[in-house]
Amino acid sequence: LIMIETMTYFEAYRPVLNALQTIAVDQTFPLEPFILKLNNENIPPNYVTSTTTYDFTPLLIEPKSKVKSVFTIDKTELIQVGRFRFRRYIRRILSKKFHIDYPQSDLVPEKYKSVNILDTNQWPTSDELHLNPKQHEALMSALTRKVALIQGPPGTGKTYLGVRIVEMLLHNRSVWCPSSEQSTPILLICQTNHALDQFLELIKNRLNLTEGIIRVGSRCKNKAIEPFFLSNARKCARNNRSIPDRIYHQKQPTLVKKFACDASLKQANYKMEQSRSNILPFSSFINYDIINLRHFPSLYASDEEGFVETGILNWLGLNDDYANYSEEAHQTETYKNKQFTKNVDCIEQNEEEEEEERRRDEIELNDDYFSSPIFNKSETRDSKKMTGEKIVSMNGNEYERHGVTKKPYNYNQVVRLILEHPTALTDETVQQLPDDIWELTINYRYDLYRYWLLKYQNHYHNSIRNARQEYDKIIRKLAKHYQNEDYYILKDSLIVAMTTTCASKYRGVLKKLQNKIVIVEEAAAIFEAHIITALTSKCEHLILIGDHIQLRPSPNVYHLGVKYHLDVSLFERFVRNNFPSVRLNIQHRMRPEISHVMKHFYDDLEDHESVLTERPDIRGVENSVFFIRHDHMEMNVDDGSSKRNEFEARYIVELAKYFIKQGYRPDQITILVMYVGQRQCIAKLAKPVELLEGVRIMVTDNYQGEENDIILLSLVRSNAEKRIGFLAIHNRICVALSRARCGLFVIGNMNLLAEVEDMWKKIVGSLIEKNAIGRGLPLSCIRHPEDKFIADTPESFEKRPKGGCNKQCKSRLKCGHSCESVCHNDDIEHMTVVCHKRCIEQLPCGHPCMKSCHHSNPTQHNPCRLLVEKTITECGHKIKYRCRETPTVQDCQELTLKHLVCNHVVELPCNTASSDKKLERFSCPISCNDILACGHKCRGTCGQCRSKRLHIPCEEKCTRKLICSHACKASCTANCLPCTRNCETFCVHSKCPKQCSDPCPPCRKPCMYKCKHSRCTRLCSEPCNREPCDKRCDIKLECGHYCIGICGEPCPKQCRICDKSVVQEIFFGRENKPNACFVLLPDCKHLIEVIGLDKWVFASINNSTDSTAIRFPECPRCKTQIRK
C-alpha cells in the first residue's frame, strides 16, 4: 500500500490535471503555433479580415459619460406547459439582441464609426481616444493580434484598459459574433476570485449592465456581482423555459438512480454503524448465510413461537433487562428500510428543482458517503490459529460454571469487550466447534460472535464498495447533464467570467461554447497549464494582461519551480522569448516619492500629472515615504513554518493607531506583511484595539492588484545568519512597495537586507539620498511645526496621545474661543470640538447669550430666555416673561375675583377665568361643610359635591362603638366589621384569650358572687341566681368609720366623713344623704351612688332604640362599659 499526501488542497489542481489529459487525448492544442512554436508574426484573429471595420464610438466619447446597455428580444417560441385542465402556454425566449446607447454618439465623426481595424492610419489618435501613447499602442495590439500581450507596471491602468477593450469588443459584437453563426460570449479568466470580481464590477459599472454577464463559481464575496451568479441565471432559465425540455428528460433517469444509490449507501452505512455499537440478533447473520447450518437447532426455542430473537443476548450473558433490545433494533432497522424505499419512490418535481440548485459548476465525486471509518480499517482481521484440541464440549458442571445465569454483565461493557478485539476463529476452527453453541464458554461465545460480525461487516464492505463505484459513474453522468444545461444558459450571454480552476472544471462546456475571445487578467501570476486548460481549439483571440515583474505563479513544491521552471507563467515565457508585447509606462497610483522607489524595477516608469496634485502629504509625519531600520531579532512561530518579529508588530500597531488619530479612516490603512506568522502576531495585538477595527492586515502575496492610501509594511526578517528568505525575491519586493497611493512606511532590518541583496542595497541607497530612512520615524505637528520628535520604539507614540504634540492646541474656534484640548491632528477644522465656555456674543435684544457655545454654528443662538416685565394685551396684567417671546392670557397667573354658578365668589388665576367656558368647567374650591346622615361634616368641596346636591362619600372613621365597647376602625361609609382587638372580658379565675368578636370560652369554676346574706350556686360563666344584696356593708374602714358600700361588693376606699368632698359630690342627687350607699366600678374606678346607678342602668335598657342590641352597661360618668 502506498499513500501519497499532498501539501496543499488537491481539489484545486485535479480539474487542471484532468483537463490536460483531455488535451492529450483530443490531440488538439489551442493556438499551437503561438504557444508551442512561439510564432511572433502579427497575425490578426480569424474573424478579422482586410475589410473588417470597427465603430470607435465607445472610446471617443468622454470616459466618464454614462451609457446604457439595451437588450431586445429577437426570437421567441410559444410552448405548452402542463397537461389537460392545467395546461397553459408561455413565450419561450430564444435569442436577444444587444447594443449600447451612447448619449454623445452624434458628436463622433462619421469616419470613426467605420474604421478599418487593420489600417492603423485610419485609427483615431491617442488624444482623441483619451489614452496615452502606450495605452493606444496596447489597444492596437489587443484588437489586431491573435495573441496580444499587455504588460503594466503597478498603477499604469492595466485593468482600466482591459475594461475599455471589453467595451470595444461588445460594441462591435457583430464583427466576431455575426447572427449567422453560433452565439458565443467573451471568456474572462483570472487567477483569484477577488481580481475577477473587481474586473467584472468595473465592466458592469462602465456599461451599466443589468444582465448579459454570468459569473461562474460560488466563492464571490462582492455584493455587486451577486445578481450575475450562474445560480440566478439557472432560475431565470427555468422560469423562461429557455432550456430545451429534452435536457430535463435526459437527466431524470440518472437523477432517480442517484437517489436510489444514495439511499443504498445510507442504509449500508447505518447497518455498519449498528454493528459497531450494538449486539445484532441471530437473524442478521442467518439472512446472509453466516451461521453454520450445524448450529441452527441450538438457536431455536422449544416453544411454538419458533426462533427467539433475543436469544443472542442470553447467549452472550446479558441480563433480561435487555431482552427487548433486539426487537427494538429490528423495528428501527425496518423503519429505516421503509424510509429509504419511500425516498427513492417519491422523487417529485420539487426534489428535482432542489437538486438543480446545487453548485453544478463544482460537482465532483461526492466522498461524504465514503468517509466512514469503515474505509480506514482493513477488511480482514489478524487471526490466531486454534487447534481442535482446544475446543472441547462441556459437561453440565462446566456449563453451570460458565453459564450466563451465574454472572450478569453490563450491556455496554459486553459490547465493548466483544467489539474491541479481533476474532481468533477461522473458517476451519469454526467447523470444529460443537453443534450446540450453548455448550461453549462465555469467552468462546464472544469469539464466535466476533467471527460472525466480521463476515457481516465484510458483506457490507463489499456492498458499499460496489455502491461507491456505481455512485461514481452516476455522478459523472449527472455532471455531464448539468453542464449540458449550463451550456444553454451560458451560450447567449455576453461575458462568461470564471477563475482558472473553474475553467478547467468547465472545460467540457467551454468546448461547446467555442469562445473566440479569451481575456486573461493578472496573467503573469497564473500557471501556464491553467491558461492552456481554459482555451479551446476554437479560440481565435487571446489577450493576456499582466506584469511578470510582480508576483509569479507560486508552486507549493519549491524545487518544481526552481528545477522545472513551473513558476514561469505563459506571459513571462512569451516576454522572455521576445514575443511582441506592449508595456504601459505612465502610472496613476503612487506619489512621486513612492514611484521613485519603483524605478529600480521599471526604468521607464513615468508619473501622471494627477499624482502630483491628487496625492496629499500624510499628516503627522515629515515624510510620506519612510523606512524605519532596526536590529531586533525575528522568531519562529510555534509550528516552525513561518516567521514573526514582535518589535515590528508592536511598532506597526502603534503607527496604525497614530495615523487614525491624524483623522484617517481605518479603511484607508492597510498593514502588509511578508510572512503569515507576522500577520497572526499583528492581528492578535490589534484585536483588542477598537481604534483599529477596519484596518486590513494582509500577506503581500494576497494583495496583488489592490491598493490603499497608506501602506504599513513589516519585512520581519532579522537574524544573525543573514537569511532573508522571501525578501530576496524581486517580484515580492515589487508588489510590496507598489501598493500605496499616498504614504508608504516600511520597517525592517535594512542593514541586513542591503548587505545580502543588491536590489535592497540600491533601494536603501536611493532612500538615503532622499533622507527617507532612519532609526525612527520623524513625527510632526501641524500646529507646532517646531516641535520635532523621532518615534524609534513602539512606546514613543505614547508621547503623542492625540496625534499632535504635548502642547495645548489653542486653535481659534468658530465661536471665538481657543481650543483647550491637547494638540490633536484628527479634527483640524475643529468641526467636532465641543466648546464649554459661555457664548460671548450679544443677542439682537441687547442681552448677552446665556448658552454654551458648543453648537456647530455660533450664529444660531437660542431665543433670549432672560425674564423681563411684560404687559399682556388681552387682560392688561403685567408678568415676568422670556425676552424673545410674547406672553398671552394663557400665561397670566394674576388672581381675580369671579362669581361662580354656585353663587360663591373665589379668587382665580386670570388664565383660568379668561372665558365663560373655562368658568363653567371650573370646580368650586369652597368647602361643603354640610352635616351628612352619619353625623360627620362633609369634607368635599362645593364643586365636588355638585353644589351640595351629591356629596362625596364620608371619609371619616366610624365612631360607633361595637358590642365590646371598642370603637369601629372602618370608614364611616363601610359596614362595621367584627372587632379584632384582644377580648377584655375576665373573671376572678381567668381572662379570655380570644379576640373581642369571638365567643368567650365559659369558665367552669363556681361563681364567687356572695355575701353573708346569700350566695350564687351556679358556675362562674352562668347567669347568677343570687339577687343583689341592698344591705349596707358593716365593715369598718381603717379610719374607724363604717364602709359606704353595700354588702357583697368591693368596699370603696373613700370615707363619708374623711372624704366628704369626694363622696358627697352631687351627680344623681342622693350622694349627700346620710344613708346613701355607693358602688366602686372596678373598670373605671368611679364611685357611683347605688340607687342612682340602678335607675341609670334600667333606664338605658328601656330607652334603647334597638331592642335586639346586646351591650354592656356603661358608667354614667365616663361611659366605660361595666364588665365586672
In 10 A of CB 156, how many CB atoms? 27
Distance (Å) of CA 366 to CA 265, 470, 951: 12, 12, 90
What angle is formed at CA 92 by the lines to CA 86 and CA 98, rounded to 5 degrees? 155
Q: Which residues pair with 542 in a beta bridge?
A: 147, 518
Measure CA 496 to chain center.
Answer: 33
Interstrand relation of 53-54 and 115-116 (parallel, antiparallel or unpaired): antiparallel
In 10 A of CB 649, how many CB atoms? 26
pLDDT in tens, 620-662: 999 999 999 999 999 998 777 789 999 999 999 999 999 999 9
Distance (Å) of CA 417 to CA 125, 216, 267: 88, 53, 26
Could you tell me how many residues make up the chain? 1124
**In the chain, what is the straight-line distance between the N-terminal and C-terminal CA atoms, in Å?**
118
Burial code of 223-247, b = ≥16 C-beta within 10 A, e = fewer?
eebeebbbbebbeebbeebbbeeee
In contact, 460 and 177? CB cutoff 8 Å: no
DSSP symbol at 1024: P
What is the helix (H) or strand (E) element at residue 636, kind and residue range? strand 635-636
Q: How far apart are CA 587 and CA 616, in angstroms?
A: 16
Q: How many Cα atoms occupy the beta-carbon half-sphere of 419 within 13 Å?
A: 16
The helix/strand/coil state of 352 is helix
In 10 A of CB 592, how many CB atoms? 13
- What pLDDT was estimated at residue 356? 38
The domains of the chain are located at: 11-67+107-242+496-564, 249-475, 586-800, 1054-1124
The CATH code of domain 11-67+107-242+496-564 reads 3.40.50.300
The helix/strand/coil state of 457 is helix
Q: How far apart are CA 504 and CA 384, in angstroms?
A: 52
Q: How many Cα atoms occupy the beta-carbon half-sphere of 91 within 13 Å?
A: 6
Angle between helices 349-356 and 230-240 (to 10 degrees): 150
In 10 A of CB 903, how many CB atoms? 10
User: 238 phi and psi, to 5 degrees?
Assistant: -65, -40
Residues whose CB is less than 8 angstroms from the CB of residue 446 and which lie 6 or more positions away in sequence, other chains included:
316, 417, 418
- What pLDDT was estimated at residue 73? 60
Which residues of the chain fall below pLDDT 70?
A: 24-27, 69-97, 300-311, 318-411, 413-414, 854-860, 1104-1110, 1124
Same fold for the pair 11-67+107-242+496-564 and 586-800: yes
In contact, 804 and 780? CB cutoff 8 Å: no
Interstrand relation of 803-808 and 822-824 (parallel, antiparallel or unpaired): antiparallel
- What pLDDT was estimated at residue 778? 95
What angle is formed at CA 228 by the lines to CA 225 and CA 230, rounded to 5 degrees? 125
In 10 A of CB 830, how many CB atoms? 17
Find where cell 483537463 sits. Answer: 19
The helix/strand/coil state of 220 is coil
Query: 250: buried, middle or exposed (CB in 10 Å: 19+, 13-18, 0-12)?
Result: middle
Nearest to 531 by CA among 66, 30, 940: 30
Q: Which residues pair with 644 in a beta bridge?
A: 635
- What pLDDT was estimated at residue 307? 45
Residues whose CB is less than 8 angstroms from the CB of residue 794 and which lie 6 or more positions away in sequence, other chains included:
647, 650, 651, 653, 654
Nearest to 158 by CA among 568, 543, 600, 556: 543
Q: How far apart are CA 636 and CA 388, in angstroms?
A: 63
In contact, 683 and 698? CB cutoff 8 Å: no
In contact, 1022 and 1003? CB cutoff 8 Å: no
User: 435 phi and psi, to 5 degrees?
Assistant: -65, -35
Q: Which CATH class for the 586-800 domain?
A: alpha beta
Averaged pLDDT of the chain: 82
Nearest to 725 by CA among 717, 733, 737: 717
Instruction: Name residue 901's amino acid.
Output: V
- What pLDDT was estimated at residue 27? 65
Give 574-592 as a DSSP string: HHHTT---EE--EESSS-H
In contact, 225 and 204? CB cutoff 8 Å: yes
Distance (Å) of CA 1029 to CA 1033, 1067, 1076, 1113: 10, 23, 15, 19
Nearest to 704 by CA among 191, 312, 1094, 229: 191
Q: How far apart are CA 157 and CA 584, in angstroms?
A: 8
- What pLDDT was estimated at residue 77? 55
In contact, 165 and 495? CB cutoff 8 Å: no
Q: How many Cα atoms occupy the beta-carbon half-sphere of 706 within 13 Å?
A: 25
Write out 78-119 in H/E/C secondary structure.
EEEECCHHHCEEEEEEEEEEEEEECCCHHHCCHHHHCEECCC
